[in-house]
Structure 1
Amino acid sequence: MEAGDANSRQIDDDGDKSDEEEKEDRATQSLLNKLIRSNVVNNTNQVEVLQRDPNSPLYSVKTFEELRLKPQLLKGVYEMGFNRPSKIQENALPMMLAEPPQNLIAQSQSGTGKTAAFVLAMLSHVDPSLKWPQCLCISPTYELALQTGKVIEQMGKFYPEVKLAYAVRGHKMERGIKIKEQIVIGTPGTVLDWCIKLKLIDPKKIKVFVLDEADVMIATQGHQDQSIRIQRMLPKGCQMLLFSATFEDSVWKFAERVVPDPNIIKLKREEETLDTIKQYYVLCNSKEDKFNALCNIYGAITIAQAMIFCHTRKTANWLAGQLSKEGHQVALLSGEMAVEQRAAVIERFRDGKEKVLITTNVLFIPFSSVCKFCIDVEQVSVVINFDLPLDKDGNPDNETYLHRIGRTGRFGKRGLAVNMVDSQRSMEILKTYERHFNKKIARLDTHDLDEIEKIAN
């Protein structure tokens, strides 16, 4: 990652980030998703398929048996806990496994099973008797490459004849010694070195090329050009598969350069709604006043699990300490934590080991208009905006407000959102949210226990 220029704004206590740090966050958020979501998310998203040949019948599958996989791969699929294909897999796998090979551009969010899909395609196309690289997968970062490699190792558990090599930093190789592994996964710079400088890979022998996390890839300096250089070395008949969580214009332009004559699959994102969420605000004069209001809410109603959002790390740390003193089981999440630490905190909260999750905006760094990282925990019944969400310029952030309070009212249940208002400015911001979503946000007097009890019913 290149360092930001001298004029880039550095991260401060309020969580503001320079442009380069925002780019890094795209990869971080993607890695968090992979670490946390060990299973495919069950969703009702609609799949849109644009075929290269519109006259060809649309072919989809409802079971893995229909794909006529090698028995050892089918066993690996079931070993990983996949009982039936996900929405994206139903349509993508028949295209990826077709003969002759078909190119594919696919948009799908994390947790939809797309990594398992392209891994299955690579393992299916490999000829284990040939001791050279036949499938090449590139990821934007070292950590993301390792995560994809783990999926390959898990799915290929019963197919030991197929070997995997990691073309990543720190993996030193001698020049001119051809590698024998059939699948190579790595980052663009190292893969390019293995092809050109060290001549470890003969790109003309690659049958399947996968470019994962395309939206993250093009946000990282140099990766876009390196990816295109790799693609241009591949043979004409090589199958090209590109995946991205988002499809803004820059991603489309990149995809069109890398994947010729593609089929296209889009997994439409579910729209969040505030219809099942009761919204309230509490007038406060200080953070101590906010904390007392919070204690009154906890004293009056039963809360399964709660998420509390703060604007700064300092406030989050202070609030975590105060709630812990009151005997609450508290998890704290903030930007200075390593990605693995953050994943562990979220996993513990999801498992119910802590009942309160206090977080800064680290959960909702907006790296596109349609893809934000989020936590879906069925037991979350209350979301507290200890500080109202603002964008980097200090203006109301409608999208973050929606995603924050949308953590409650999930899975068809009713939710409760409480906003702490401590100034005339924050009241104006609250009114902005009220107007934008056309939803009444009622005042709550937290000194009146009877009133608090009513909102829980």
Structure 2
Amino acid sequence: MMTFEGLGLDEKLVQATDALGFTNPTPIQEKAIPVLLSGTKDLVGLAQTGTGKTAAFGLPLLQLVNEKERFPQALIVCPTRELCLQIVNEIELFKKFMPGMHVVAVYGGASIGAQIRDLKRGVQIVVATPGRLIDLIERKAINLEQIKYVVLDEADEMLNMGFQDDIEFILQNTPNRQSTWLFSATMPPEIRRVSKKYMQQPVEVTVGKVNTANKNIDHQYYITSAQHRYETLKRLIDFNPGIYGIIFTRTKADAQNIAEKLTREGYDIDALHGDLTQQQRDKVMGEFREKTLQLLIATDVAARGIDVQGITHVINYELPDDVEVYTHRSGRTGRAGNTGICMSIIHSREIGKIRQIERIVQVPFHKLEIPGGKDVCRKQFYHFMDNLLQLDIDDSSYEPYIPMLEEKFADVSKEEILKRLAAQEFKRFLKYYENAEDLNVRERTREVRGREERSGYDRRDRKDSGRSREYSGNGRGGDYARLFVNLGTKDGFYKASFLQFILDMSDLRKEVLGRVDMKEMNSWIEIDKRAAGQMIRAIDGKKYKGRSIRMNDADSRR
């Protein structure tokens, strides 16, 4: 079996890996380190998050950079502050026996003055987020002319976040680099374009297949109706009492709303989204890392770059539109050789999307039943009993109280004590789940799905269309009606989440929709005339965040 010494690392770095308890390199380290130690080759490294990529580029950098020269020689660019700090922390561990080596993190949301002072003290390796680095370049506070090595970590994430122009600007401002190392979990076309433009015949190192999911993760999905999505989330949390996980939502409004509701109901949870200040974000992440919080609910943008060890579950409150986003979400668990679970709460219409993701990431998805109330109570009881039996009772400080306890409970049977203990712990919980309804929605048969796909709308639409009002159809000729609804971007929707919302509420298929025009306060929807009646009846008068939804024929409003 390969060792770090066998990869060509020098003695100080091998000492550091030994001190950290690293015995054998991971696959990405084994493949990338020998190539990178040459110092002159460009490299594209494709591997999932949590596979040891930081060591794969961090160890070669420490060997190649001149410890005696106190100016920036290597630059690592990454998408977020959290990842920036994590990379610095890991490199600090690797350079344990290299006292003259200095690493500085530069990122937004912190004092730029303090970061400039750190740079002036002398540093060999700079780890930066794109925005702050460009700010420093424009202030002439950092000189990149002597940079020999540039590392783009989580390159796909940076491109997803809109940093392509920033990355190109940074590469243009490192004219004397000897090599560029690009690490990514996926390989979208944008990555190919960057590599072709700025890299010379890069060596491509792949661990696993591109875009495939981590095989250590169990991918599960649960089918429910739109109105039961929140209850299903609670049910899944309660059925996994030892959960330490991240819940993903599409919008920051959903993240904040769900976090507030779960907090009121006694769950240790907080939200991470774009409206938080850096100080608030740091506080939430600190509590989550320390496990003061059991759950973190986040949007995809806010969660980028987060690397927290020991996450047991990822829950997709809604499926993302992009398969690559699913890969990144699920990759938050099952890291460093551990196993994990990724659960998705879906509507029956999303079975096709599950099958599509399944084909692309090349792992099987398991359909599971949403647990019933009795199942949840049983699971919670087992967890409670296990914790009770594992309690440390060797502490002698209890001893003085034992005689009092024995006297107090002298006439109480063991069975009654256990009942009282259970009642104290579970009374409210048992009452909540006493008459819990079945939240499962059964999959439609293949024959029914086929008929629906051919017709483009649900069978119930055929019944509804005869009774619905005539709509003049302002969009695509006479076949489409135009509906008005008093929901818009101000309600936290963007187009994809809005479409998902109205389709889930009405139980219709996407094929019945035409053009959707969203404004801040209102939206207009083109829809197949035959399905318009069903959508209006399903949505008009319902509540969204405490206010009534109004939906009607847009033309009749004139």
When the two structures are superposed, what TM-score results if normalisation uses the length of structure 1?
Answer: 0.58
Residue 368 (str. 1) matches residue 303 (str. 2): no
TM-superposed deviation, 1:198: 1.5
Q: In the alignment, is the contact (CA less than 8 A) between 2:79 and 2:157 conserved in 1? A: yes
| 2:127 counterpart SS class | strand
- Quickly say closer, same or farther: Cα 1:343–1:395, change in 2 above 3 A: farther
Give the one of 158, 162, 183 matched to 2:101: 162
- Quickly say closer, same or farther: Cα 1:346–1:388, change in 2 above 3 A: farther
* Aligned position for 2:164: 224
* Aligned position for 2:207: 267
Q: How far, CA to CA, are the matches of 1:241 and 1:215 in structure 2?
A: 13
Residue 105 (str. 1) matches residue 48 (str. 2): no
Q: In the alignment, is the contact (CA less than 8 A) between 1:307 and 1:380 conserved in 2? A: no
Q: In the alignment, is the contact (CA less than 8 A) between 2:76 and 2:126 conserved in 1? A: yes
Structure that is richer in helix per residue = 2
* Aligned position for 1:211: 152
Report matched runs for 1:384-403 at 5 Å: 388-389=346-347, 395-396=350-351, 398-399=353-354
- Quickly say closer, same or farther: Cα 1:158–1:286, change in 2 above 3 A: closer
TM-superposed deviation, 1:163: 0.8
Larger radius of gyration: 2
Q: How far, CA to CA, are the matches of 2:147 and 2:244 in structure 1?
A: 50
Q: In the alignment, is the contact (CA less than 8 A) between 1:282 and 1:418 conserved in 2? A: no
TM-superposed deviation, 1:63: 1.0
- Quickly say closer, same or farther: Cα 1:142–1:286, change in 2 above 3 A: closer
Report matched runs for 1:335-414 at 5 Å: 338=281, 340=285, 341-342=287-288, 359=315, 361=317, 366=322, 368=324, 371-374=327-330, 375-376=333-334, 388-389=346-347, 395-396=350-351, 398-399=353-354
TM-superposed deviation, 1:396: 4.4
Unmatched runs of 5 consecutive residues or more in structure 1: 1-60, 325-329, 437-457
Q: How far, CA to CA, are the matches of 2:190 and 2:169 in structure 1?
A: 18
| 1:218 counterpart SS class | helix
| 1:191 counterpart SS class | helix
- Quickly say closer, same or farther: Cα 1:395–1:214, change in 2 above 3 A: same
* Aligned position for 1:186: 128
Q: How far, CA to CA, are the matches of 1:85 and 1:246 in structure 2?
A: 22
Percent of residue pairs bearing the same amino acid type: 23
- Quickly say closer, same or farther: Cα 1:251–1:344, change in 2 above 3 A: farther
Give the one of 54, 60, 70 matched to 2:10: 70
Q: In the alignment, is the contact (CA less than 8 A) between 1:333 and 1:359 conserved in 2? A: no
Q: How far, CA to CA, are the matches of 1:348 and 1:294 in structure 2?
A: 14
Give the one of 64, 76, 89 matched to 1:150: 89
| 2:6 counterpart SS class | helix
* Aligned position for 2:368: 417
Over aligned residues, Cα RMSD in angstroms? Answer: 5.3
Q: How far, CA to CA, are the matches of 1:112 and 1:402 in structure 2?
A: 22
Q: How far, CA to CA, are the matches of 2:131 and 2:233 in structure 1?
A: 50
Q: In the alignment, is the contact (CA less than 8 A) between 1:305 and 1:379 conserved in 2? A: no
- Quickly say closer, same or farther: Cα 1:369–1:168, change in 2 above 3 A: closer
Query: Which structure has more RCO (C-alpha within 8 Å, separation ≥ 6)?
Result: 1
TM-superposed deviation, 1:212: 1.1
| 2:194 counterpart SS class | helix
Residue 200 (str. 1) matches residue 200 (str. 2): no
Q: In the alignment, is the contact (CA less than 8 A) between 1:136 and 1:184 conserved in 2? A: yes
- Quickly say closer, same or farther: Cα 1:155–1:401, change in 2 above 3 A: same
Give the one of 56, 60, 74 matched to 1:117: 56
Q: In the alignment, is the contact (CA less than 8 A) between 2:73 and 2:146 conserved in 1? A: yes
TM-superposed deviation, 1:67: 2.8
Unmatched runs of 5 consecutive residues or more in structure 2: 296-309, 373-435, 451-558
Which amino acid letter does the alignment assign opposite residue 83 of structure 2?
L
| 1:206 counterpart SS class | coil
Which amino acid letter does the alignment assign opposite residue 61 of structure 2?
M
Report matched runs for 1:271-350 at 5 Å: 332=269, 338=281, 340=285, 341-342=287-288
* Aligned position for 2:70: 131
